[in-house]
Amino acid sequence: MASCTSGASPAPTGPRNKLQAPVPIELGSKTTSSFFAGSVPVQPINLIAFISQSTLYASSLTGNNSLFYVSGNGGINWEEQSTVPGQIVALDFINATDGYALSEPGSGGAIGALYATMDGGRSWKLASNGEFFAINFTSPTAGIALVSNNPLGTARVVSTTDGGLTWRPLSGQTFPSVNGILSFTSPQVGWMATASEPGAGSETKSLYETTNGGITWAIRSSTAIPSSSSSGNPPNTGLPMGGYLSSLKFTSATTGYIGLDRGAVIRTTDSGLKWSCYALCDQQDHFVSSLGVSAGKLTSLLDNGTLLDRVGRSTVWKQVFPARQFQQLVATKTGIAALSSNGHVYFYGKHFSQTASLKTPNGTVGILEDKGLLLAYTADAIDLLSINKAPATLSKLKLDNFSMLSVGPNGSVLGVEYLNSNPMKRWVVESENLGRTWTRLPTGPIRPVMVADSIAYGLVLFGNTIGSPPTTFAAKPGFYLTTTFLYQSKDRGRHWIRIKTGPVQSAGGLSLASNGEVAIWWDQTLLLRANPTGSFRSFQLPSYLATPSSISVLPNGTLLLTSDGTVYDSQDGGLDWGTLFLS
């Protein structure tokens, strides 16, 4: 293989940015608290290298570069170290200081660059360029790699003894592969997992073993491909068809683990002959992207940046990062109340320090702040939350079913009621006594989806109108086209006027601020209006912020967004977003 000249990384790597440095987020003139950005990566981490139980390295993609982070406490907090050009797709560290990163162009394409560090990721140098699939170094200078071969769709093994500056063919074998991962337990003994072109959530996989440092490889297991004439399930040859190969880790000569995208963590105890599901077997929402095993602790990184730990034989996973999964944020007079998926509301004051936590009733859907009271509501009740007291039921919701509730400036509770027997039957409902009794407000021909109230706008309604039956395909009885718009009423529903927003595809969420700012969102689209007389600005949210569960507009215009349990903020009206750390 041709020699490649090393050189300095084309992107600057310093100075180091300690993310603990606070960035103030003022809530407004009527409040006394400030909030600060926390010590977490700005975007979700997508890859992790495990040095020990406490020391982890990670990367996240921002623009066309990758940010490199270090954690000294098992992934709870992170500190930015440097920037690496392109997207890091593989990390391999021999020890805490010496390591390598494979990078592909930020806009996509073939894996091309191998970068080396000798100071724990504070700085990087380009070692070589090549069609690398996978790397594994057994010393700071000696390693092997799986590289693309001609014809396309095959790969071969090469080796280096000078830290990746030059490479030479190591094995005469070629392997059918468009993806591969290496894992060695000693300089001589290692395994290679390869995969074919993925599709429809599955791919064929093979596992090879070497006992002479990669010179020769013997197949240990593979995926059975059923023939067109076969019936029933194919014989079990070890590796599943379902899931995409994402990580491989052998901890001994017999025990190894494979992490699968669109799959789970599978394990072998016979050097790779047979595999069985070991962890995250029922994981449906997210995929395993990195895997680490250290002293009996299994750590999995999911594709949304969530880090999970499982110790020993326990079947219980502990979420390490982010510390909590948040569903909703509510700004109060003294800070922020955050509803977590673990059945608690957490209060945060100055410097984002936690000041209190309250247990919520089982089945809590959301929280409300009403004239200084914090309320939680379930499908059939509104409860008052108090420090050092159990939730107290204030009212039983005598509604058939309803969408998310909100509180108006006069303290009334608003929602949209609909019938379980006929969801097309919908009404805006209002209660002035915390849900004990309800009044239906008129909406005319508008079918309401969600509603909010503010001094600047009056009632604001996300709703749609029913049109004619569709003509482009066979219509079913009662099937009509609908169009979604935003409406407002300053006389409690007697008259509605349409607010010009531009095209609205669906109703994802609606938020009003006391300063007159309104936010509407669905999927990855966010519409913002600074005041009742202004026009809406449209923003395309980054992919990691897709389908937010809540957006809060603070009095000073700061946006707080929760997506997939993580909290983000924007202080420039939605152009840029950063992660907030709520411990």
Q: Would 510 be classed as within a structural domain?
A: no
Assigned token pair, 294:
């250290």
Q: Would 147 be classed as within a structural domain?
A: yes
Q: Would 542 be classed as within a structural domain?
A: no
In this structure, are residues 68 and 113 in contact, taking their beta carbons and an 8 Å threshold?
no
pLDDT at residue 285, as a whole number: 56
Residue 311's domain comprises: 7-18+44-226+234-321
pLDDT confidence bin for 181, thresholds 50/70/90: very high
| Ramachandran angles phi, psi of 302, nearest 5° | -90, 165
Q: How many CB atoms lie within 10 A of CB 226?
A: 12
Say if residue 482's pLDDT is above 70.
no
Average pLDDT over residues 386-407: 82
pLDDT confidence bin for 119, thresholds 50/70/90: very high
Say if residue 8's pLDDT is above 50.
no
Q: Would 568 be classed as within a structural domain?
A: no
Question: Which of 125, 65, 71, 121 lies closest to 92, judged by CA?
Answer: 121
| Eight-class DSSP state of 17 | B
Q: Would 191 be classed as within a structural domain?
A: yes
pLDDT confidence bin for 151, thresholds 50/70/90: low
Highest mean pLDDT out of 55-64, 114-123, 220-229: 114-123
pLDDT at residue 157, as a whole number: 93
Answer with the residue of higher pLDDT: 192 or 331.
192
Say if residue 277's pLDDT is above 50.
yes
Range from 15-19, 235-239, 559-563 carrying the lowest mean pLDDT: 15-19
Residues 524-534 as b/e (b if ≥16 CB within 10 A, e otherwise) read bbbbbbbeeee
Tens of pLDDT, residue by residue over 427-477, are 999 999 988 899 999 998 888 988 999 888 899 998 887 655 545 545 555
Using CA atoms, how far apart are residues 38 and 135, in angstroms rounded to an integer?
33
Average pLDDT over residues 499-521: 79
The domain tally of the chain equals: 1
pLDDT at residue 22, as a whole number: 30
Which amino acid does the sequence have at 249?
A: K
Average pLDDT over residues 217-226: 82
* DSSP labels, 19-53: TTS--EEE--TT---EEE--SS-SS---EEEESSS
Q: Would 29 be classed as within a structural domain?
A: no
Q: Would 159 be classed as within a structural domain?
A: yes
Say if residue 278's pLDDT is above 60.
yes
- Tell me the three state secondary structure of residue 484: strand
Say if residue 213's pLDDT is above 80.
yes
At 53, which CATH number? 2.130.10.10
Question: Which of 186, 170, 176, 168 lies closest to 208, judged by CA?
Answer: 176
Q: Would 202 be classed as within a structural domain?
A: yes
Answer with the residue of higher pLDDT: 117 or 31.
117
Answer with the residue of higher pLDDT: 305 or 270.
270
pLDDT at residue 399, as a whole number: 80
pLDDT confidence bin for 237, thresholds 50/70/90: low
